[in-house]
């Protein structure tokens, strides 16, 4: 048996137990790729060395609260920053960097207080990061994450894609995710009495209130999966290629999925969850260089709105 390797494994086991409030045997099995019997033996070695290992029936193992160095040296803001950094580094393409960062962070987590470990545990499913996520994170992210943990309502000033002025909203943030080039927060909106996605770069002001959430919410990924199962209206539009860039900043809000670029024109495809009339009225801004290809009933609705508008214009001119 390689004594040095076993010592390093037991030392790493200590850091892992210190980094979380409770760790399951199954998690340790997967981490070290050893049998349960070996893990139990390593735990006994830690106890023999004077480490106060505790066991919670049905949950797992941990270390008695207070058994660490400088338990209060990290602020909550620092804990949040470390969690965000960990999420980003988990997607790093360089295996060496990813593995060593994880090892170093495990040792850092060992000095967290129990309350800080619990905060990390709660935040684990509140932030979704994928391989296409950029390094930049909007400044409001810390308050939104704090809101998800404290379960306190947040007030935001938000600019909709179809407006130039912000409006006040009270929301219950569920979690954050990155999609189609932008950061979003999925939140329960009190004004709409439903779940909505808010783009973080459109949040002009934000304030955490003392008012608690009005209801319990599912994890952000679970909610996103449920919402994605709602029925969408498939829409195709055709636009002249040169001015088609005017669609770029707002099309994500109406379910843009893909585009086909040709020499003189661009086909854009949408899966729209908004009311069809909302899409048509948004599309009206581009009628001088674009048309709705399908479905036909949106073509008719657009024609009806334009016709009614022309009658108004003609009446005013008379």
Considering the domain boundaries, does residue 133 fall inside one? no
What range defines the domain where residue 156 resides? Answer: 141-228
Is 318 or 308 the better-scoring residue by pLDDT? 308
In the prediction, which pLDDT does 206 show? 92
Domain count, the chain: 4
In the prediction, which pLDDT does 71 show? 44
* pLDDT for 60 beyond 80: yes
CATH number at residue 257: 3.30.70
Give per-residue pLDDT as tens, 81-91: 777 777 767 66
Indicate if 262 and 192 belong to the same structural domain.
no
Considering the domain boundaries, does residue 70 fall inside one? no
Indicate if 221 and 238 belong to the same structural domain.
no
Say whether pTM exceeds 0.85: no
In the prediction, which pLDDT does 194 show? 87
- Percent of the chain with pLDDT strictly greater than 70: 83
Indicate if 114 and 159 belong to the same structural domain.
no
Is 253 or 120 the better-scoring residue by pLDDT? 253
- Residues whose CB is less than 8 angstroms from the CB of residue 254 and which lie 6 or more positions away in sequence, other chains included: 270, 272, 274, 278, 279, 282
Considering the domain boundaries, does residue 129 fall inside one? no
Is 231 or 20 the better-scoring residue by pLDDT? 20
In three-state secondary structure terms, 122 is helix
Confidence at 94, pLDDT banded by 50, 70, 90 = low
The 3-class secondary structure across 222-277, one letter per residue, is HHHHHHHCCCCEEEEEEEECHHHHHHHHHHHHHCEEEEEECCCEEEEEEEECCCHH
Indicate if 205 and 260 belong to the same structural domain.
no
Considering the domain boundaries, does residue 154 fall inside one? yes
* pLDDT for 104 beyond 80: no
- Among 141-145, 272-276, 298-302, which is the least confidently predicted range? 272-276
Q: Which residue, of 212, 228, 244, is where some domain finishes?
A: 228
Indicate if 9 and 32 belong to the same structural domain.
yes
In the prediction, which pLDDT does 176 show? 87
Indicate if 257 and 286 belong to the same structural domain.
yes
Q: Which residue, of 63, 93, 109, is where some domain finishes?
A: 63
Indicate if 216 and 254 belong to the same structural domain.
no
Q: Which residue has the tokens 């129990």?
A: 114
Question: Angle at CA 161, nearest 5°, toward 156 and 163?
Answer: 80
Average pLDDT over residues 138-164: 85
Considering the domain boundaries, does residue 204 fall inside one? yes
CA dihedral over 56, 62, 68, 71, signed as positive or negative = negative
* pLDDT for 80 beyond 90: no
Considering the domain boundaries, does residue 132 fall inside one? no
Considering the domain boundaries, does residue 68 fall inside one? no
* Cβ atoms within 10 Å of 160's Cβ, excluding its own: 15
CATH number at residue 175: 2.30.30
Indicate if 281 and 297 belong to the same structural domain.
yes
- Among 224-228, 259-263, 302-306, which is the least confidently predicted range? 224-228
Q: Which residue, of 193, 228, 263, is where some domain finishes?
A: 228
CATH number at residue 10: 1.10.10.10
In the prediction, which pLDDT does 115 show? 75
Residue 38, exposed/middle/buried by CB under 10 A (0-12, 13-18, 19+)? middle
Indicate if 148 and 219 belong to the same structural domain.
yes
Q: β-pairing, 203-212 with 265-272? A: unpaired
Average pLDDT over residues 184-203: 90
Separation of alpha carbons 61 and 17, rounded Å? 7
Give per-residue pLDDT as tens, 245-286: 999 988 988 889 999 999 999 999 998 877 788 899 999 999
Indicate if 155 and 221 belong to the same structural domain.
yes
In the prediction, which pLDDT does 4 show? 67
């Amino acid at each position: 048996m390689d004594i040095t390797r076993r010592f390093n494994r037991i030392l790493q086991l200590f850091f892992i137990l210190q980094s979380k409030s409770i760790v399951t045997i199954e998690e340790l099995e997967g981490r070290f790729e050893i049998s349960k019997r070996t893990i139990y033996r390593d735990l006994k070695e830690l106890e023999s060395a004077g480490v106060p290992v505790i066991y919670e029936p049905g949950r797992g193992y941990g270390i008695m609260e207070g058994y660490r160095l400088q338990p209060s040296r990290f602020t909550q803001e620092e804990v949040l920053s470390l969690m965000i950094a960990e999420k980003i580094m988990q997607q790093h393409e360089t295996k060496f960097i990813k593995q060593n960062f994880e090892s170093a962070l495990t040792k850092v987590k060992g000095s967290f207080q129990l309350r800080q470990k619990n905060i990390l545990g709660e935040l684990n499913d509140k932030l979704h990061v994928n391989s296409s996520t950029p390094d930049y994170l909007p400044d409001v992210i810390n308050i939104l994450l704090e809101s998800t943990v404290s379960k306190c309502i947040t007030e935001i000033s938000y600019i909709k894609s179809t407006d130039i002025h912000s409006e006040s909203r009270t929301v219950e943030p569920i979690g954050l995710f990155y999609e189609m080039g932008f950061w979003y927060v999925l939140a329960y909106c009190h004004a709409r009495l439903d779940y909505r996605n808010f783009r973080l770069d459109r949040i002009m002001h934000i304030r955490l209130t003392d008012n608690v959430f009005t209801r319990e919410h599912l994890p952000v990924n679970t909610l996103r999966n449920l919402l994605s199962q709602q029925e969408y209206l498939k829409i195709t539009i055709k636009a002249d290629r040169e001015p088609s860039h005017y669609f770029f900043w707002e099309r994500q809000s109406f379910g843009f999925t893909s585009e086909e670029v040709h020499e003189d024109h661009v086909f854009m495809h949408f899966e729209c969850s908004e009311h069809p009339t909302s899409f048509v009225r948004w599309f009206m801004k581009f009628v001088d260089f674009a048309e709705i290809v399908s479905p036909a009933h949106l073509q008719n609705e657009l024609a009806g709105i334009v016709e009614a508008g022309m009658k108004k214009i003609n009446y005013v001119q008379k």
